Structure 1
């Protein structure tokens, strides 16, 4: 059965990189994003080879198992082709690509994935990440050592644990089958989108219900507004729903869209030696599959980073507490330069400090008990003293007391 839906694909260099190493494909039944890596030209070649090998799978399938087998076989063939390409052009050594592919078969989506490009499903207003990133930081998240939010800004977030490259002829691929239904929106994207635009904003954009082309443009704009430090590739697929069935030729975007994208570059003379062979892949390292020693080093570096963060947190807390203590002492000393006239149980008293208290701590103390009985004061004066009378200084407080004495009936001082 032919898949019924509409789709789009777009790819953009971004605002930082000088070339586009991403490739994307949107056809009748097949939808793919490949994020190339490995230097100035290596990533271009790797993602292009992947797309041009996988596009042969864009046809109807008798069963989902047939489609899954075809995907696995094509991705393995791509790995072999990458190895053969590096044997022909050693300067491309180290190149590789992610692959996230979806084949629609009747009411099912057959998914194959390796790397850190992503497949999302938007259904009933909720966005769900379907694939799992094959990255070092995702392993840290899975083990509970860091949070997903910390993973977004981790300095090693681009280190891949699995990638389709020139070193492994038998790559480990995630492949699975999921039911789909009319109204579903499938988003396949490189980390140029999901690495800078969070899922909440992506979900809001998908929920607006625009056609795939318009929706992809809005997602790209968000990535560009966020700085777009990497290439951005988006493939969006609507299953049934309000949008008409797409027709026409498949759409290929990114480096695979031009003949130069799959042309193997000639070796550059004068750049190799027995110590430093020419490796174009080393020019712009963005992703690579780490070895065991490197991973141990990164794990230790992560531990050091956590320890440093803890130390700085303790130092910051200590500095805050010291500053707070200094401010408290300075504030208390200032209060001891203030005076007011009030009462104790039965007489007029001059207090040093201020009338306010902080919790159980009083900020005033008796400076002088004048021994003027409260019962001798006129009612209005007694009420004023009980409310306390602020003084600008000790002499001002003493003047207030002298005024109270003068107001007493003769013989009662």
Structure 2
């Protein structure tokens, strides 16, 4: 599968906070037409050095994958990149003890030959939109989501629960190892959009409202502007996102040959 993306659009703003504890990779000004890897991280609020945690996670993940990736990103490679990142956290904390307790969420997206590989830790999200409909979204590693799945609270209560910012997974270091959910999305079509965001965006957007934006606008820059108009000056938290449009998807020659061979066997 050969996935060609259009120009991605990214935003990372401090919102109502004094500093920005979100980090994204790559920075918008460094994107090339061949970009395959995207990362969005949110330094956990209330912990020491959240901005260092998110930056270090982005930098460590992309460094490890760049060094050791041979072909598509796999679940095992993501696991090793996560372990490397945790070791980097430990190294930083050893030199800066005041940073003990720093943590971050992580979302990763990679366009590979078998589909789009996504991984996430925490409550930052990845969506796949098709004609304004959500065809896939990650599931938050959060307390309120666990309570909702257990039937303890309603969907409306999730939005206002006093512990809605408590996450159950975060990158912290080897002393607190975590796991990433990894999945390969092989149902990818031209015209799809992938959307990666920190929870600051979700202060003002439900799934339904986000879907409405992607249904209304058919240009990624217009989508970016619409989300910015809603969040800028209104969001209490930092807010960051990546919009990644899919321009074209072609099956590899070997896949086509296998399909033709299968069809010919019935002739």
Q: TM-score range by the shorter chain?
A: 0.7 to 0.9
Where 2:205 maps in the other structure, the secondary structure is coil
Preserved contact between residue 203 and residue 235 of structure 2 (Cα < 8 Å): no
Structure 2 equivalent of residue 400 of structure 1: none
The question of 1:204 aligning with 2:212 is answered yes
Deviations 1:256-294 (A, max 9, x none): xxxxxxxxxxxxxxxxxxxxxxxxxxxxxxxxxxxxxxx
Structure 1 residues without counterparts, runs of 5 or longer: 242-413
Pair 85,159 (structure 1): closer, same or farther in 2 beyond 3 Å: same
Q: Over aligned residue pairs, what C-alpha RMSD do you find?
A: 2.4
The question of 1:177 aligning with 2:184 is answered yes
Which of 186, 189, 199 in structure 1 is aligned with 2:197? 189
C-alpha distance in 1 between matches for 2:222 and 2:117: 25
Equivalences for residues 237-276 of structure 1 within 5 A: 237-240=244-247
What is the Cα deviation at residue 71 of structure 1?
A: 2.3
The question of 1:217 aligning with 2:225 is answered yes
What is the Cα deviation at residue 38 of structure 1?
A: 5.4
Where 2:153 maps in the other structure, the secondary structure is coil
Indicate the structure (1 or 2) with the bigger Cα radius of gyration: 1
Give the TM-score normalised by structure 1: 0.54
Structure 2 equivalent of residue 8 of structure 1: 9
Pair 106,151 (structure 1): closer, same or farther in 2 beyond 3 Å: same
Preserved contact between residue 120 and residue 131 of structure 1 (Cα < 8 Å): yes
C-alpha distance in 1 between matches for 2:117 and 2:208: 25
C-alpha distance in 2 between matches for 1:221 and 1:107: 36
Structure 2 equivalent of residue 21 of structure 1: 21
Pair 167,62 (structure 1): closer, same or farther in 2 beyond 3 Å: closer
What is the Cα deviation at residue 231 of structure 1?
A: 0.4
Structure 2 equivalent of residue 109 of structure 1: 116
Deviations 1:8-56 (A, max 9, x none): 2111111x20000001124510111100125586111011011112223
Preserved contact between residue 187 and residue 237 of structure 1 (Cα < 8 Å): yes
Deviations 1:289-313 (A, max 9, x none): xxxxxxxxxxxxxxxxxxxxxxxxx
Where 2:49 maps in the other structure, the secondary structure is helix
Pair 182,107 (structure 1): closer, same or farther in 2 beyond 3 Å: farther
Aligned residues: 238
Preserved contact between residue 93 and residue 166 of structure 1 (Cα < 8 Å): no
Structure 2 residues without counterparts, runs of 5 or longer: 249-267
Pair 206,168 (structure 1): closer, same or farther in 2 beyond 3 Å: farther
Preserved contact between residue 171 and residue 177 of structure 2 (Cα < 8 Å): no
Pair 49,2 (structure 1): closer, same or farther in 2 beyond 3 Å: farther
Structure of higher RCO (CA pairs closer than 8 Å, 6+ residues apart): 2
